[in-house]
Structure 1
Amino acid sequence: MYNVVLPIAGFEDFKSLKVEKIDDFASFLVFDEKTKIAVVNINYLNKVKFDFQIDQEVLKKMNINSKDDFDIYFCVVSQEPVENSIINLVSPIFINEKDKLVGQYITVEKVDPLFASIKECAKL
C-alpha cells in the first residue's frame, strides 16, 4: 500500500491506495475494489516538453531530494479508440516508489495544452 500524502482531485477521502503496474508506461491507482484511475508515465510522453517547478512543501511531503526519488504520471481518461484517450497535463501524479508515497501536484506554470489526447501528445 502507498500513503497518499498530497490529495488526488476527486479522491480526497482516500488516504492510501495500491499501484497496479500494467507495463513500463501505464499503471492503475487502485483506491478500493470499485475505484481505480489509469495513469501514464511521463517517459511515455517523450516528445512532450514539460517544465514546471515543484515547491519545497511538496518535495518535503513526498520525501523527494532528487529526480531519482520519484516518477511522474498523468491521469488518463480512456476513450475508444485508445489514441483518443485524454491525458491531464496540468496536474501530475508523483509516486515515490522507495517510500511508498503518492500525491497529485497542481502546477502553477502555464501548461499548453492542459489536456491532450494520446495521439496529440505524440505530435507535441
Structure 2
Amino acid sequence: MKFDVCVPILGFEDVKEVILEKIDDIFMKMQSVTDKHISFTLINPFVLREYDFEVPDNIQNLLEIDKNSNLIILNIILIQTPIENSIVNFAAPVLFNTDNHKAAQIILNDSRQYGVAEKISTFLKK
C-alpha cells in the first residue's frame, strides 16, 4: 500500500512517498518510493507492550483522522542478531491512515514513558 508522508521521518526528510508491505503478523517493511536504498523494518508495538498516546491535533488534521479512521501504528525497529538484541523506537511511532493513504511520524512528548532505543528482549516472555 502506498502512502504520502505528511510529516517527515526523522533524518529522512526527502522521503515523501512510501510503500508499506506486510512481512508477517508482527513486522512490516516501509520502503521509499523514490530511493530503493531507504527502507525501514517496522513492528506492531501492541504485540510487545501496552502502548497508548494522544495524537496531536495538528497530526490529526494533517492525516485527516477522526474517530472512524482506520489507522496502523508501527514503530521502527533495528533488527539485530540474535533478534532479542533488536532495538525499538517507541518514542516516535509512525501512523498510517489507510483510508486516505497518508502517513506521519510523531514524537511523543513523555520520553520517560517510551524510549528511543528499547531492547526487544525487555518485552519478550521468558
User: Could you tell me the TM-score, scaled by structure 1's length?
Assistant: 0.88
Please show how residues 41-80 of structure 1 align to structure 2 within 5 Å. Answer: 41-45=44-48, 48-66=49-67, 68-80=69-81
Q: Which residue of structure 1 aligns with residue 8 of structure 2? A: 7
RMSD: 1.7
Provide Cα deviations, 1:68-121, integer angstroms capped at 9, x if missing partner.
Answer: 521110000111101110000100000111211111000112343512111112
Secondary structure class of the residue paired with 2:80: coil
1:17 aligns with 2:18: yes
Provide Cα deviations, 1:8-45, integer angstroms capped at 9, x if missing partner.
Answer: 11111111111121012211110132110110012322
Identity %: 27
Query: In the TM superposition, what is the alpha-carbon distance from 1:52 to its structure 2 partner?
Result: 2.0
Partners of 1:99 and 1:108 lie apart in 2 by 26
The size of the alignment, in residue pairs, is: 121
Q: Which residue of structure 1 aligns with residue 97 of structure 2? A: 96
Can you give the 5+ residue segments of structure 1 that lack an aligned partner in the other structure?
Answer: none
Query: In the TM superposition, what is the alpha-carbon distance from 1:5 to its structure 2 partner?
Result: 0.6
Partners of 2:112 and 2:26 lie apart in 1 by 21
Q: Is the 8 A contact 1:90 1:111 kept in 2?
A: no
Q: What amino acid is the match of 1:37?
A: F
1:119 paired residue among 101, 121, 126: 121
Runs of 4 or more, structure 1, over 3 Å off, are 110-113
Please show how residues 20-39 of structure 1 align to structure 2 within 5 Å. Answer: 20-31=21-32, 32-39=35-42
User: Could you tell me the TM-score, scaled by structure 2's length?
Assistant: 0.86
Partners of 1:102 and 1:79 lie apart in 2 by 26
Deviates more, 1:86-95 or 1:29-38: 29-38
Deviates more, 1:66-75 or 1:88-97: 66-75
Can you give the 5+ residue segments of structure 2 that lack an aligned partner in the other structure?
Answer: none
Provide Cα deviations, 1:29-68, integer angstroms capped at 9, x if missing partner.
Answer: 10132110110012322xx222322111101111111275
